[in-house]
Chains A and B, each alone.
Chain A
Amino acid sequence: MLKTVFTDQVALGSVQAALAVAVTLAVMLLARARAIHLERDIVVAVVRGIAQILAVGSVLLLLLRGPRWTGVFLLVGMTIAAATTSARRARGVPGAFRVSLTSIGLGAGSVIALMTWAGVIDTAITALVPIGSMIVANAMNTNSLALNRFRSEVESHVGLIETALALGAGAKETVSPYVRAACEASLIPAIDSLRSLGIVWIPGLMTGMLLSGSEPIYAAIYQFVMIALIFSASGLTALTSTLLIRTYAFSPAEQLTLRPGPAAGG
């Protein structure tokens, strides 16, 4: 219906965005009616989301005219931004930014590099940047989940961890069950995405390819490829992140530094 009224794409997009925002605000009001106050978070997220995606659109517009390698710089910038976001989410975890940057960089970076080299991801900026950003964003989510879960596991088991330390256990051994739990929990969304692909959801990439006229079978296969790459990058990120974080949770003298607060007691 809108397309018949608005022929200009920018005008059409603006109206579509306004309708999407209206639905978001309606959800916010529903939540408010149930005394769940998300107003500030939702308004800030909506404004930030619009501003950021328009900024990226503008940058992509500029990059399309530039050499292909500029896409790599954009992905590096996205990785740093992802590490910052993830580290902020894991506040209180020692070395969170360094762990996040290394894990996302290694997890997402190696998969993007390998698959671009193999020809699975096209080097054209219009392909490399959006696909790379999907991989980086998912690696970021996995990393945030891993760090958060690790922190809460350690904080709820301080007594057992310090008991093991006091009995002469090595620092890394004392947290190995919590490292495993954090790694497994952080990969649940990626595994579920892979498992439910096509049944529960048809992801955006496939939708986009279909809309742009690609062969449906190829669009479906390529979507599977992307989800598999996202899973691989997320898996590598989670493994790296949980491997590194156990080192940061302890001092060189094997004292637990990741604690809920100062030691209580007399």
Chain B
Amino acid sequence: MSTLETADPPLLEAAHLSRVAGGVRVVDDVTVRVRRREVLAVVGPSGSGKSSFLRLLNRLDEPTSGTVYLEGRDYRLIPPRELRRRVGMVTQTAFLFPGTIGDNLRVGPRHRGQELSEETIAFLLEKVGLGGRAGSDVRHLSGGEAQRVSVARALANDPAVLLLDEPTSALDEAATRDVETLIRRIVGDQKLACLLVTHDQAQAGRLAGRVMVLAAGKLERIGATDEVPHAEDRLH
């Protein structure tokens, strides 16, 4: 176990998390802890359960056994809407709601009866490099811009944990670097705990302090990024 893992109390802890779907054990007894300001990369070959594991963390899917603790509290005791506000998620495809960028940022807070101020919207957009674009129609955004809106929209909920499911896999190299810079900055600024699913070992190295390798739903290895040098070999 790395020293990083024991330094602070974990913000998020998956405890013996398993999920069986369609008779297949897609996540198999995974235990892992993530601290504030930490990026943990989740790598593994296609079908290894990376996305399935992430979906269990904000309870988009129900674990068959095991649970998750958010700041020490069993997440089954937290109302799902509150849990999902605190454990934000950005998916591979940026599913944006029709309307403007500002409209998209307002969605999360509005669901809990709060109206995001224009100043907050401007601040969030500045943070993701889209300053002054609140009124832009989302239909006219590039892939990278859409993904930035997706990140800003998750941040508008003021989450404690950010789940990133291959956020750059649909982007070109320049847009990927932009989004990576953004991730690095917001994790530090917002004191977030972040889990990043990626198939790109180099990206894991650039962004994450630790990496966990999943294979057939099982946690095969976890450690500091430079201590798991051969995870790349297992990806394909």
Contacts and interface: CB of A to CB of B under 8 A. Distances in A.
Contact of B81 (A159, A168, A262, A264): A168
A169 interface: yes
29 contacts: A159-B93, A162-B95, A164-B111, A165-B60, A165-B84, A166-B60, A166-B89, A166-B154, A167-B84, A167-B85, A168-B82, A168-B84, A168-B108, A170-B81, A173-B111, A255-B59, A255-B80, A262-B24, A263-B52, A264-B51, A265-B52, A265-B165, A265-B166, A266-B44, A266-B45, A266-B47, A266-B48, A266-B51, A266-B197
A253 interface: yes
Interface string A145-177: 000000000000001101111111110010000
Nearest to B53: A266
Interface residues of B, number: 42
A251 interface: yes
Given A254-B80, A266-B44, A266-B199, A167 B51 contact: no
Q: Most chain-B CB neighbours within 10 Å: which of A164, A166, A170?
A: A166
Nearest to B83: A168
The 8 closest A-B pairs by CB, nearest first: A265-B51, A266-B50, A168-B85, A167-B108, A163-B95, A159-B95, A166-B89, A168-B81
B85 A262 contact: no
A165 B112 CA distance: 12
Contacts of B81: 168-170, 254
A128 B92 CA distance: 57
Nearest to B94: A163
Nearest to A253: B80
Interface in B56-75: 58-62
A166 B112 CA distance: 13
Nearest to B23: A262
B31 interface: no
B227 to A, nearest CB: 22
Nearest to B112: A168
Given A168-B108, A266-B48, 9 more contacts: A159-B95, A164-B97, A164-B111, A167-B154, A251-B62, A253-B59, A253-B80, A262-B24, A266-B199
B164 to A, nearest CB: 12
Nearest to A169: B111
Q: Most chain-B CB neighbours within 10 Å: which of A170, A253, A265?
A: A265
Interface string A224-266: 0000000000000000000000000001011110000011111
Interface size class of chain A, counting residues whose CB lies under 8 Å from the partner chain: 20 to 34
Q: Most chain-A CB neighbours within 10 Å: which of B50, B62, B95, B107?
A: B95
Nearest to A163: B95
Interface string B11-46: 000000000011010100000000000000000111
B91 interface: yes
A166 B47 contact: no
Contacts of A266: 44-51, 166, 197, 199
A266 B217 CA distance: 9
B147 interface: no
B191 interface: no
B157 A255 contact: no
A11 to B, nearest CB: 57
Interface in B150-202: 153-154, 157, 165-166, 197, 199
A255 B49 contact: no
Contacts of A166: 58, 60, 84, 88-89, 91, 154
Contact of B97 (A160, A162, A168): A160
Contacts of B60: 162, 165-166, 255-256
A263 to B, nearest CB: 6
Q: Most chain-A CB neighbours within 10 Å: which of B45, B49, B55?
A: B55
Contacts of A265: 50-52, 92, 165-166
B59 to A, nearest CB: 6
Contacts of B47: 266
A90 B120 CA distance: 45
Interface string B74-117: 00000011101100110111010100000000011001100000
Contacts of A164: 97, 107, 111
Contact of A263 (B55, B97, B111): B55
A160 to B, nearest CB: 5
A256 B91 CA distance: 16
A167 B199 contact: no
Contacts of A160: 95, 97
A31 B8 CA distance: 72
